[in-house]
Structure 1
Amino acid sequence: MIALVDMDCFFAQIEQLDNPQWKNKPVAVTNGQLGSTIITSSYQARAFGIHTGMRLKQARQLCPALIQAPSRPQRYAQVSRQIMSSLLAITPDIEVYSVDEAFLDLSRCQQLYFGASDIGQRIKRRVFSVSGLRCSVGISGDRTTAKFAAKKDKPDGMRVIHPALAEQTLAPELVTALSGINKGIASFLARYGIICCGDMKRVPMSVLAKRFGHLGRRIWLMAQGKDPEPLSYNVKPPKTIGHGKVMPPQTRDKNVVLIYFQHMSEKVAARMRCFHYQAECFFIAAKTDQGWLKTKTHAGFYTDDGRVIYQLCQQFLQLYWSGQGVWQVQVTALAPQQGKQLDLFTEDNQQRQQVNTAMDNVNHRYGEFTLAPARLLDKSAMPNVIAPAWKPGPGSPRDYFL
């Protein structure tokens, strides 16, 4: 018995909770007061067609009464940690899937309750009691079907799909209704006539396994309500540590583009230092009218220094950018490692490490970019947002921000 707890428009709901005058009103959360893109929105705003990723200007055209709420990631992290900790009273077998979702394996504690519906209602009451927020709960025999069930009756819903009825329930649903099946996978499946989950059994599992490996075998079973993937109770080390930033459309001023790249470089470096990670290879990209300009570049040594990463960004622009309008930048450390010996043999590198340590200490105490390269000091008005893969755990909530 697997349950998925899915908070309803989590960030927006917290803003409405903390600002009672916004209750039942259209609210959109943006990355700071200056943020121009919507992170999430309340259901009242969604009724106007407003969605995540939409520009605030366009959203106001759809809903002139839209309330803009600057994101408060520390508050969201605090509430998420309270909710996830409280769920341990239901079962100790919990996988925190994201900041607003958690899987609960209820198999070992079923006898303590009065069936799936009873457990689901207890979960909802517990979440509300510790946070004042509503959630939706889906319960079934595997994680994919439970996640599907949780989405069906949002907001404030609960649906139970008995494992014996899972295949029958999923059969008429589009394969894209299942978590993990994106447009690319769906396009491949469509070539074999697999549009709905019920079509999956017409094709041998080996066809999907040959194309996608283990994932293909899993997808074949997922569509029949038999996802074999167990819950994961440990937070896995990150495969990447990255930051991206949307900028004013058609930005052609090289100095402005460099400022954004430096901003992202320093954020990546600070986050790596926070968790004692270093990286040697970096993905650097800029979105333009002609698509993404991108490259993987090597520093030649493991580093957690924003200055080194920024130098790679400067080289990237010099080699790949010819002045076209830029819409977005991205800097990502690839395959970060812990415990790597940094290059500390030169006096300059030792001084840089001391500078970074002092800067981190000040910024952790007084706020991000209290100390920073001079032209980034005004960037403190751009708060962080919580990473999709944020996991509540020991330590300060600031440790988990993007």
Structure 2
Amino acid sequence: MTIDALSPWPRMIALVDMDCFFAQVEQMDNADWFKKPVAVTNGLQGTTIITCSYEARAFGVHTGMRLKQARQLCPGLIHAPSRPYRYAELSTRIMEGLIDITPDVEVFSVDEAFLDLTRCQTLYKGAMNIAYLIKRRVWQVSGLRCSVGVSGDKTTAKFAAKKEKPDGMTVIHPEEAADVLAPEPVTALSGINKGIGRFLAHYGVERCGEMKNIPMSLLSKRFGHLGRRIWLMAQGQDPERLTFNVKAPKTIGHGKVLPPGTHQKNTVLIYLQHMAEKVAARMRCFHYQAECFFIGLKTERGWLKTKAHAGIYTDDGHVIYQLCKAFVDFYWAGQGVWQVQVTALSPQQGKQLDLFEQPDIQREHINQTVDKVNYRYGELTLAPARLLQKSTMPNVIAPAWKPKGHRKTI
């Protein structure tokens, strides 16, 4: 069957995947590091690799590996402390640049975006031309390389983008998608984890082409709507549409890792207050308040946790910290702490006042002033005095970071 490369597709979806994004940014900003093995960790104190360049991967270095082990494999490895704000700046620039190709852009993560090209494909000269233009646009706005996959659905486009990394460009026509995917393991598709893979293998499905041998109802009964999608994904027919709006958050939270086995109460409280202030500032930024908060300490025996009620809807870090302090006083017995977490549960947008509640105008004015100063001069330029002793470890950019909406946080 001959396929006309320039004929419009029923659906055309592209996935832009930045190549080793953080490491590539470090190589770009440090000319001496170009084409050298670079590993990014969370600050100078970080010991676990967040990502690494392809030159480092050639030595067997990979994400999640300890820096000490990586240096044994690659003695010339360059250690780059992460710079989340720089990555966020470039990601924003890239995502805004992609809108020049199509207005229908779904920011999937800090270094990935889906583009729905269906409505505008007749403006271009086929899928390969669009893929080239996307890569050129990303380079123009950021100076960085990316890999692009184009197909008729999200899953196949994502598969295509991974096929020829780095700096790749792969087009899979919708009519050829089922045949291209057929020999691939089902776990090669995004969204099909090892657990689902074991379930499918039990019914004789290890390759995508074998999916049609079982009824869709078998997966629907086990996984619900996701099961139906999985059945179609394996045959190049993923029905999932792009999401252009950031959904309202179910939670707004922050956590931080402590020095392993921390026993000092003052240190634990400093970390909790830091997280309380971050959660509060983020809620105020996007006009959310919450009445219930998850507070947790990770110990060697698991999480010591509670859901604490403030009694009022609040976006005040002082109120949230008082809940944290009460939790520590009542529940914590001095055991070693590895991590803290503070999360606002079911946040609501807008001011949430009870009938007889009187707003604390003075606190609101203080918070507004603090937010203005911190927005201009940097996070926690103005902060409670206790936080002068906070950790020097830098913030970590959230995996679900978005340039707009409540996930725009570091």
User: Is residue 24 of structure 2 the alignment partner of residue 24 of structure 1?
Assistant: no
Whether the aligned pair in 1 keeps the contact of 2:18 and 2:112 (CA below 8 Å) is: yes
SS of the residue corresponding to residue 229 of structure 1 reads: coil
Question: How many Å apart are 1:136 and its aligned residue?
Answer: 0.2
Q: Compared with structure 1, are the counterparts of its residues 184 and 375 closer, same or farther at alpha carbon in structure 2 (3 Å cutoff)?
A: farther
Matched, 1:84 2:95: yes
Q: State the shift of 1:58 in Å.
A: 4.0
2:398 aligned with 1:390: no
* Structure 2 match to 1:9: 20
Q: Supply the AA of the counterpart residue of 1:401.
A: T
What amino acid does structure 2 have at the position aligned with 1:307?
H
TM-score, normalisation: structure 2: 0.88
Describe the SS at the equivalent of 1:245.
Answer: strand
Output one character per residue of 1:5-52: Cα deviation in whole Å (capped at 9) or x when no partner: 111111211111111111111222233334444332222223333333
Look up the match of 1:400.
Answer: 408
Q: For 2:175, what is the secondary structure of its paired residue?
A: helix
- Say which SS state the counterpart of residue 119 (structure 2) adopts: helix
Shift of 1:365: 1.9
Q: Is the 8 Å Cα contact of residues 13 and 157 (structure 2) preserved in structure 1?
A: yes
Partners of 1:113 and 1:74 in 2: how far apart? 34
Distance 1:399 1:358 in 2: 23
Letter in 1 for 2:17: D
The amino acid that maps onto 2:308 is T
2:197 corresponds to which residue? 186
Kindly indicate whether the alpha-carbon contact (under 8 Å) linking 2:270 and 2:389 is maintained by their aligned counterparts in 1.
no
Counterpart Cα distance in 2 of 1:187 and 1:316: 41
* Number of residue-to-residue matches in the alignment: 399
Give 1:288's match in structure 2, choosing from 299, 309, 313: 299
Give the alignment's Cα RMSD to 1 decimal.
Answer: 2.6
- Aligned counterpart for 1:170 among listed residues 181, 191, 197: 181
- 8 A contact 1:38–1:56 mirrored in 2: yes
Q: Which residue of 2 aligns with 1:334?
A: 345
Equivalent residue number for residue 317 of structure 2 = 306
Matches within 5 A, 1:316-327: 316-318=327-329, 320-327=331-338
| 1:113 to 1:178, Cα distance in 2 relative to 1, 3 A | same
The verdict on how the C-alpha distance between 1:172 and 1:125 changes in structure 2, with shifts beyond 3 A counting, is same
* 1:164 partner SS: coil
Per-residue CA deviations over 1:339-382 (Å, capped at 9, x if unaligned) read 13246977894433233222222212222122212221243744
Task: Give the 3 Å change call, closer, same or farther, for CA 300–224 of structure 1 in structure 2.
Answer: farther
How big is the shift at 1:319? 5.2
Q: 1:171-201: CA deviations, max 9, x gaps? A: 2323222222234433443443433323333
Output the CA distance in 2 between the equivalents of 1:314 and 1:200: 53
Structure 2 vs 1, CA of residues 286 and 153 (structure 1 numbering), >3 Å: closer, same or farther? farther
1:94 aligned residue (91, 97, 105): 105
Alpha carbons 1:386, 1:401 under 8 Å: kept:
yes
TM-aligned CA distance change 1:141 to 1:318, over 3 Å: same
SS of structure 1 residue aligned to 2:390: helix
Indicate conservation of the 8 Å contact 1:281/1:298, yes or no.
Answer: yes
Compute the displacement of 1:265 (Å). Answer: 1.5
Tell me the amino acid that sits aligned with residue 325 of structure 1: G
Partner of 1:63: 74
SS at match of 1:83: helix
Name 2:387's counterpart in structure 1.
376
8 Å contact from structure 2 (residues 401, 407) kept in 1 = no
Structure-2 change in CA distance of 1:337 and 1:166 (3 Å) = same
Shift of 1:120: 1.2
Distance in 2, matches of 1:313 and 1:78, equals 33
| Percent pairwise identity | 74
Distance 1:183 1:321, change over 3 A: farther
SS of corresponding position for 1:89: coil
Q: Which runs of no fewer than 5 residues in structure 1 stay unpaired?
A: none
CA shift in 2, pair 1:132/1:172, >3 Å = same
Structure 2 counterpart of 1:116, from 113, 121, 127 = 127
Q: Do structure 1's residue 203 and structure 2's residue 211 form an aligned pair?
A: no
User: Given the two structures, how large is their TM-score scaled by the length of structure 1?
Assistant: 0.89
User: Which piece of structure 1 moves more, 295-304 or 153-162?
Assistant: 295-304
What is the one-letter code of the residue matched to 1:124? K
Distance 2:279 2:76 in 1: 36
Which structure 2 residue ranges, 5 or more long, are not aligned?
1-11
- 1:12 and 1:27 in contact (8 A); partners too: yes
What is the alpha-carbon distance in structure 1 between the residues aligned to residue 213 and residue 304 of structure 2?
Answer: 41
Question: For each residue in 1:96-121, what CA deviation from the matched residue of structure 2 results, as whole angstroms up to 9, or x when unmatched?
Answer: 22221111112223223332222212
Q: Which residue of 2 is the match for residue 222 of structure 1?
A: 233
| Residue type at the aligned position of 1:78 | E
Describe how 1:267-286 pairs up with structure 2 within 5 A.
267-286=278-297
Contact 1:384 1:401 in 2 (8 A): no
CA contact (8 A) 1:11 1:29 kept: yes
Matching residue of 1:265: 276
Matched, 1:239 2:250: yes
Q: Measured at CA, do residues 192 and 294 of structure 1 come closer, stay the same or move farther in structure 2, by a change above 3 Å?
A: farther
Q: CA deviation at 1:322?
A: 4.0
Q: Is the 8 A contact 1:368 1:380 kept in 2?
A: no
Q: Tell me if structure 2 keeps the 8 A contact 1:138–1:151.
A: yes
